Amino acid sequence: MGKLDGKVAVVTGAASGIGEATARLFHAEGAAVVLSDIQDERGAGLAAELGERAAYRRADVTSEDDLAALADFAAARFGALDIMFNNAGAQGVSAPIAETSVEGFDLTVDLLLRSVFLGMKHAARVMSPRGAGSIVSTASVAGLRTGHAPHIYSACKAAVIHLTHSVAMELAEQGIRVNCVCPGFIATGIFGNAFGLPPEASRALAPLMAPMQVNAQPLRHAGQPADIAQAVLWLASDDARFVTGHALVVDGGLIAGRSWTEYQRLRESLAQGIQMAMGQASAAAPGA
């Protein structure tokens, strides 16, 4: 028996990375899945590969019309909308603050924040009459700590976390849960894409990032899309039926604090400093 038997899910950004892994897992756990993206060929190919209980529907997440039609499509095609995963994204504008253009700011906010608002809005519209549903969005550790991503990306992800908290309070009273996941460093096409590589080349680059990733956080594991998909599955499923307004960090310990090794180094240099200071103090006051 699958964890999502009989459920209908929409996944945005499903043609690659975290979205693809989550769509595959949702489907394997018994859900009917609408995969959505702007990479039509790849998205449609994945839906065809999954076969029964899967469909592809193009939606540019910066368009309200597209997202409204996507939520309606899921309900019309599979009879309901139980799970909405607002996941599509990219790095957006990346520059020092004095050099960040207003156009870049607007495009980034449209892609990373306005899109999540629209996804929540239209999921709620379709879910509310049934008094049930689960909305999950992809935020980031960059929404909780600085120094992990560009300014506007980080601000948008922080806003996604707060929007999640706020909307969860409203929709809880209608039986709809609203949560988000905060991934750490995950091997996907987003990094190649940020350096201007085309989608195919960006995806091919992702597995080569493992050596860089292994030491990026306390857990010596290269974070994979499947690691995030498992967390999203839990939030989306009835296993998390008492969980709402939560931002689930899945980062191998990246933002939990200073690593143990780093702390030991700090402690050693502190001990050396103290010994040196004691030596200087006793040399300055012999016989004291």
Ligand X SMILES: NC(=O)c1ccc[n+]([C@@H]2O[C@H](COP(=O)([O-])OP(=O)(O)OC[C@H]3O[C@@H](n4cnc5c(N)ncnc54)[C@H](O)[C@@H]3O)[C@@H](O)[C@H]2O)c1
Encoded one letter per residue, x for contact with ligand X by CB under 6 A and - for no contact, window 26-55 reads: -----------xxx----------------
The verdict on 64 binding ligand X (CB under 6 A) reads no
- The label of the residue with tokens 């709620």 reads 124
| SS3 (DSSP) at 12 | strand
Position 90 contacts ligand X (CB under 6 A): yes
Q: Which amino acid is at 114?
A: R
126 interacts with ligand X by CB under 6 A: no
How far apart (Å, rounded) are the C-alpha atoms in residues 206 and 55? Answer: 26
What SS3 string covers 18-76? HHHHHHHHHHHCCCEEEEECCCHHHHHHHHHHHCCCEEECCCCCCCHHHHHHHHHHHHH
263 is catalytic: no
DSSP symbols for 80-139: ---EEEE--------S-GGG--HHHHHHHHIIIIIHHHHHHHHHHHHHGGGT-EEEEEE-
Which of 183, 252 has the CB closer to ligand X? 183
Binding of ligand X by 179 (CB under 6 A): no
The stretch near ligand X (CB under 6 A) out of 88-96, 118-126, 128-136, 273-281 is 88-96
Q: In this structure, what token pair is assigned to residue 266? A: 């700090």
Active-site residue among 26, 153, 185, 191?
153
Per CB under 6 A, does 111 bind ligand X?
yes
Binding span for ligand X by CB under 6 A among 59-67, 214-222, 232-240, 267-275: 59-67
Positions in the binding site for ligand X (CB under 6 A):
12-13, 15-19, 37-39, 60-62, 87-90, 111, 138, 140, 183, 185-186, 188-190, 193
Q: Active-site residues: which are they? A: 153
